[in-house]
Amino acid sequence: MEGLANITAAILAGGRGTRLQSVLADRPKGLAPVRGRPFLSYLLDQLVAAGVQEVVFCTGYRGEQIRETFGDDYRSLRLLYSQEDVPLGTAGALRHASSFFKSESVLVMNGDSFVDANLRDFWNWHRGLGAVATMMVIKVQDSGRYGRVQMDTGGHLIGFREKGEDHGPGWINAGIYLFRRAFLEGIAAGGVVSLERDVFPAWIGHGLYAYRNHGGVLDIGTPEAYASAESFFARLSRKRFVLLDRDGTIIAERDYLFDPNEVELIPGAAEALKELQEMGLGLVVVTNQSAIARGFFGKAQLDLIHQRLSVLLGAYGVHLDGIYVCPHVPEDNCSCRKPKPGLVEQAMKDFNFDPKLCFVVGDKACDIELGQRIGAKTLLVSTGYGAQVASEGSVAPDFVAEDLLEAVKAIRHMLAEEKRENA
């Protein structure tokens, strides 16, 4: 099965950045310095965290500077360059670079914006629907400044409204896409072609989907927006996370769940996760799945289960920041099986959060013990095995909740108490 590790990512970094010339006259806008680093490095870090291994820069204006800055590799990424001699537009640049795309699917990102999004969940949602092309969309308070994207309840993209036609809250194009390679190869070669103006309108009704993302976005296309970049990334580095168990907490407990069709959300779980997401908290699942080591099924089957979970949660507008899995049995004495903190340490590297500011929610003793080891607040839910664990008294969580919805109320209360104490 194709996963993000086997998918080529393309970053559109060929624009001249005319509006930024007053502050960036000597370089392409993707190399704009933010907190002492070129802006594009934040996109590359995001791709590393998602497990991508190969990136094609679609360059144009002063593209040699981007190549000189990053070279042929960045951390675990292999870097390639497709330089256009004349501006070709966003779609034309991708068609020009198509010989570099070896994977059946291609992840595309605008090089002058950053979206706080979980790319793995984006991929799972896209693949779970069997989509030909998926556009990530975000909600803004005044969509009239950008042009509004229209969707139906199933996520099909059904229309666009031009800039200035509608004002008020609405969904807009976030500048991140997943395409089948054949979709890109169908773009006319050699001319100026725009994804936004030429390609997407023609694909309405032909397998084009919209994935709703609830994270923040930064577009450095104007001096005013670029001036906010420092504070934007500073806020991201202070984001707090809820670390959640999977079985018995979010989905119904099943012995060695194998069939994606048996993934069943616990009543109220999706609504609870949506509330946490709207509170600005990151959502990470940490789960022990010893069925892999026991040979009951492989990682590919587990990926299908998580793709199904992504689709179910996506219907509620919920997107997990990450799912971290321990595949070992207890006898392996690994460092990642809960209550050991290995999975949390992996997530910390990806999202740069303070574990002491986290909330750990689960239905098993190992979840509570994990939270206590990392210094987090712990909440035991009575779903799954939680009621039995509570009756045994083997652990002492900070709060025992009937279910995930009640746990969210407790987290909200804890945050309010912190705010009062720090006032």
Active-site entry in 112, 116, 247, 363 = 247
Task: Give the Cβ contact number of residue 372 at 10 Å.
Answer: 17
Give the three-state DSSP class for 276: helix
* Both tokens assigned to 264: 């069943």
Residue 245 annotated in active site: yes
| Residue 379 β-bridge partners | 361, 399
Beta carbons within 8 Å of 364's beta carbon, 6+ residues apart: 245, 248, 338, 384, 385, 386, 389
Return the closest-CA partner of residue 73 out of 92, 91, 87, 54.
Answer: 54
CA 75, CA 120: separation in Å to the nearest integer?
19
Active-site entry in 121, 245, 303, 321 = 245
| Residue 207 falls in which region: left (phi positive, over 0), alpha (psi -120 to 50) or beta | left
| Residue 241 β-bridge partners | 282
Residue 73 annotated in active site: no
CA 337, CA 332: separation in Å to the nearest integer?
9
CA 289, CA 287: separation in Å to the nearest integer?
6
Using an 8 Å Cβ cutoff, are 182 and 131 in contact? no
Long-range Cβ contact pairs of 220-228 (< 8 A, separation 24 or more): 220/20, 220/29, 220/32, 220/34, 220/39, 220/112, 220/113, 221/17, 221/19, 221/20, 221/29, 221/112, 221/113, 222/19, 222/20, 223/19, 223/20, 223/22, 223/23, 226/20, 226/23, 226/24, 226/32
Backbone angles phi, psi at 126, to 5 degrees: -60, -50
Using an 8 Å Cβ cutoff, are 54 and 9 in contact? yes
Catalytic residues, by residue number, are: 245, 247
